[in-house]
Chains A and B, each alone.
Chain A
Amino acid sequence: MTASVTAARPPSDITKRSLPASLIIHALLIAASLLMLYPLLWMVSASVRPETEIFSSTSLIPSSIDFSSYARGWVGLDVSFGRFFWNSLVISLLVVTGNVIACSLTAFAFARLRFVGRNFWFAIMLGTLMIPYHVTLIPQYVLFLDLGWVNTILPLVVPKFLASDAFFIFLMVQFFRGIPRELDEAAMMDGCSAWRIYWKIMLPLSLPVLATAAIFSFIWTWDDFFGPLIYLNDMNTYTIQLGLRTFVDSTSASDWGGLFAMSTLTLVPVFFFFLFFQRLLIEGIATTGMKR
């Protein structure tokens, strides 16, 4: 029976395995998976434990389930976590919009249009992938301060509308190049403008790559700590990550339940994106080697 199952699969196994060998591999992988997940599961379980029980056991199963940590944590600061969630959501959605629009425009030009200097600019664009953001950080900060944008979401959002995430441009160029050229050449013959080709042909055919970029944009922005740390100083403008950090500082060693409850909450959106879009995320990583 095992033999027929193996034969039916693509030949990705290295040699013919015996049943025990396969069991050992599974046992090892399951053990490793549990080890990987244990800290995360422990955090979730700590968030629903009665406060007195949090550090008393390494077990994952609480003796009773108690959601009061969530209620306490939610209002644990002067500004509630609802505000932080809302701020993070607004910033993340705007960043997604900016990245998808601006990066697809740029990628379309590089992948499909002919113009003088295209290769030059493309090389420059690839070069910007390698520059650490620390180099531009300080002048950008001074610029945004002069513009009066500090303590607003603008420094975090506006650059994305100027295609500042070269990763996504690169990802989209790779995808656009895979779309048959005949499509837009025929459209061009029929007098279609570049804009119509972009809007009516390229974008509808590129939904998988646009979705991948959108999902990564969302997750990275949601998780971003450094940008908000620098640009947002007023607690009313804080994102969820800054809110959580403030909560850590203000409650350290007192309200662990609340801390783990709020930590869990900040991970929930990312986790659900992961659950639903796993395939896109993994393909995105495999094709471009995106960081993290």
Chain B
Amino acid sequence: MSNAMRTPAGAISVESYQGAVAEGRFRRLWNANAPGYLFLLPWLIGFFGLTLGPALISLYLSFTDFDMIQSPRWVGAANYVRIATADPKFSAAMHVTLTYVVLSVPFKLTFALLVAMALNRGLRGLPIYRAIFYLPSLLGGSVAIAVLWRQLFASDGLINAALAQIGIEGPSWISHPNYSIYTLVALSVWQFGSPMIIFLAGLRQIPQDMYEAASLDGASKFRQFYKITLPLLTPVIFFNAVVQTIDAFKAFTPAFIISGGTGGPINSTLFYTLYLYQEAFGNFRMGYASALAWILVVIIAIFTAFSFLTSRYWVHYDD
């Protein structure tokens, strides 16, 4: 056979070379790639059918009026214009959500870091403490916890009973618009367990001899924290801050349960997602709700991009 002359490197026999030619390019491409795509198939269907497709449709719907009965009617940027200029509930929801994010995330992370540092000292009983501090985070999303919280902060609830014992008359936390958001912040801070565990993992990575050296040089505890712990922990702090902030923007269940779905009193617990839910499934303004959803995406994206851009000024990656 003349083809045998061109058999590369002599490694492949004449028969198999001919076989390869007979199979053809397509067959070889198929053999190399088919298993990968077969394994990916469920995810690919899900991605196109449940993520990309719906996301594009939602973008389209955000430029329409759509009540689920009649087909969507194109209204251009009207939804966005109304959100930006003429929707007091949007500004209220945005205000509530930003307040919640700005208050709950720093407190939560500070507690998480303090407790993680207290636990990272080779203490006896570490697994027990860790479990106790993590438990509220795990139960956190459930309705029962929100119900419990509503009771804790009720005007005749436990918090006020405890305050009464030391002679303070507490306000009606849940039903007073000035205080209601703080009960939700407190709930979020109570659930500091999951960032705490990530901090613990991060603290383990810091080499012990750095502290020993600093100690020998006479550096105070505070200085050691400021000069060693904090800088070396910045990647973990950064990660926790981004994850917790995105989560805080998406909070829903506690506000829904505690306010009975209204976001009250006087919109003081109208979380962004709760407003979105009301518009979509209460008023069936699906186009408007889609626009709200896209604004949430843009806000989260801007926040995330901002975090990543500023991170290079304060996050230290040693390696």
Contact = CB atoms under 8 A, between A and B. Distances in A.
Interface string B112-134: 00010011111101010111111
Contacts of A182: none
Given A113-B36, A225-B256, A248-B257, A25 B121 contact: yes
B208 A12 contact: yes
A63 B228 CA distance: 52
Contacts of A139: 53-55, 57-58, 61
B49 A115 contact: no
B54 A143 contact: yes
Given A135-B55, A249-B260, A292-B140, 4 more contacts: A17-B121, A25-B123, A36-B190, A260-B151
B50 interface: yes
B197 A9 contact: no
B4 interface: no
How many chain A residues sit at the interface, stated as a range, is 35 or more
B89 to A, nearest CB: 16
B123 A115 contact: no
Contacts of A114: 32, 36
14 contacts: A9-B122, A29-B123, A102-B46, A132-B246, A135-B296, A136-B55, A162-B45, A164-B50, A225-B143, A241-B142, A263-B147, A266-B142, A267-B145, A282-B134
B215 A15 contact: yes
B43 interface: yes
A43 B148 contact: yes
Nearest to A56: B161
Interface string B78-112: 00000000000000000000000000000000000
A266 B201 CA distance: 31
A281 interface: yes
Contacts of B253: 225-226
B147 A270 contact: no
B130 A282 contact: yes
Contacts of A40: 135-136, 139, 148
B182 to A, nearest CB: 16
Interface stretch (B9-17, B18-26, B287-295): B287-295
Contact of A58 (B37, B147, B162, B300): B162
Contacts of B237: none
Contacts of A93: none
B294 A135 contact: yes
B238 to A, nearest CB: 11
Interface residues on B, range: 35 or more
Interface stretch (A68-76, A116-124, A206-214): A116-124
A205 B175 CA distance: 54
A221 to B, nearest CB: 11
A109 B118 CA distance: 42
A264 B144 contact: yes
B198 interface: yes
Contact of B133 (A33, A219, A244, A281): A33
A134 B273 contact: yes
A186 interface: no
Nearest to A284: B197
Interface string B31-44: 01101111110111
B178 to A, nearest CB: 23
Interface of B: 29, 32-33, 35-40, 42-47, 49-51, 53-55, 57-58, 61, 68, 115, 118-123, 125, 127, 129-145, 147-149, 151-152, 156-158, 161-162, 165, 190-191, 194, 197-198, 200-201, 204, 208, 211, 215, 221, 224, 239-240, 243, 246-247, 249-250, 252-253, 256-257, 260, 273, 276-277, 280-281, 286, 289-290, 292-294, 296-297, 300-301, 304
B115 A32 contact: yes
Given A224-B141, A266-B143, A285-B198, A159 B136 contact: no
A161 interface: yes
A106 B42 contact: yes
A249 B133 CA distance: 31
Contact of B137 (A10, A25, A286, A292): A292
Interface string A148-162: 000000000001011
A12 B239 CA distance: 23
A262 to B, nearest CB: 8
Given A14-B121, A139-B61, A285-B197, A113 B141 contact: no
B265 to A, nearest CB: 16
Nearest to A127: B51
A132 B138 CA distance: 21
A36 B33 CA distance: 53
A5 to B, nearest CB: 8
A292 B293 contact: no
Nearest to A169: B43
A141 B123 CA distance: 50
A274 B115 contact: no
A17 B49 CA distance: 59
A240 B256 CA distance: 16
Contacts of A169: 43
Given A132-B297, A159-B46, A116 B33 contact: yes
B198 A36 contact: no
Contacts of B148: 39-40, 43, 260, 263
